[in-house]
Amino acid sequence: MTKSNRCTNKRLILCSRGLKPGHLTVETMEVLKACDVLFSGCIDAQSSGFFSSLCPRVRIKMVKGGPEEISEKVIEEISRDESCRTAVFMSYGNTRFLCGPVFQLEKKAKKAGIELFVMDGVSSVDSIVNMMNLNKFATDGLRLVDIDACLKCRKEIVITPGMDTCFFMFWRLLLEENKVRLEKFLRDVRKNYLPHALGYFLNCPSLCAEKGRIIKFRIADLPDNVHRSDKESTLFIPAQKNVLRKSA
CB 235 within 8 A of CB 167: yes
- The alpha carbon torsion through 37, 40, 46, 48 (nearest 10 deg) reads 10
**Domains defined for the chain, CATH in brackets:** 3-118 (3.40.1010.10), 124-237 (3.30.950.10)
Query: Rounded to two decimals, what is the model's pTM?
Result: 0.82
Query: pLDDT by residue (tens digit) across 162-216?
Result: 999 999 999 999 999 999 999 999 999 999 999 999 999 999 987 667 788 999 9
Q: What is the pLDDT of residue 1?
A: 42
**Is the four-CA dihedral 87, 92, 96, 100 of positive or negative sign?**
negative
Least confident segment among 2-6, 190-194, 216-220: 2-6
Which of 163, 170, 146 lies closest to 240 in space, CA to CA? Answer: 163
Query: Helix/strand/coil (H, E, C) string of the chain?
Result: CCHHHCCCCCEEEEEECECCHHHCCHHHHHHHHHCCEEEECCCCHHHHHHHHHHCCCCEEEECCCCHHHHHHHHHHHHHHCCCCCEEEEEECECCCCCCHHHHHHHHHHHHHCCEEEECCCCCHHHHHHHHCCCCCCCCCCEEEEEHHHHHHCCCCCCCCCCCEEEEECHHHHHCHHHHHHHHHHHHHHHHHCCCCCEEEEEECCCCCCCCCEEEEEEHHHHHHHHHHCCCCEEEEECCCCCCCCCCC
pLDDT value at position 4?
Answer: 44
For 30-62, how does the pLDDT look when each residue is reduced to its tens digit (9 = 90+)? Answer: 999 999 999 998 887 777 788 888 888 999 999
Q: How much is the pLDDT for 6?
A: 61
**pLDDT tops 60 at residue 234:** yes
Tell me the one-letter amino acid at 69: E
Q: Output the pLDDT for position 190.
A: 96
Residue 237 pLDDT > 80: yes
Mean pLDDT value of segment 3-25: 79
Binned at pLDDT 50, 70 and 90, residue 7 comes out as low
Assess contact for 6 and 112: CB atoms under 8 A: yes
Tens digits of residue pLDDT in 93-147: 888 888 888 888 999 999 999 999 999 888 899 999 999 988 888 889 999 999 9
Q: Helix 67-80 to helix 100-112 angle, to the nearest 10 degrees?
A: 30
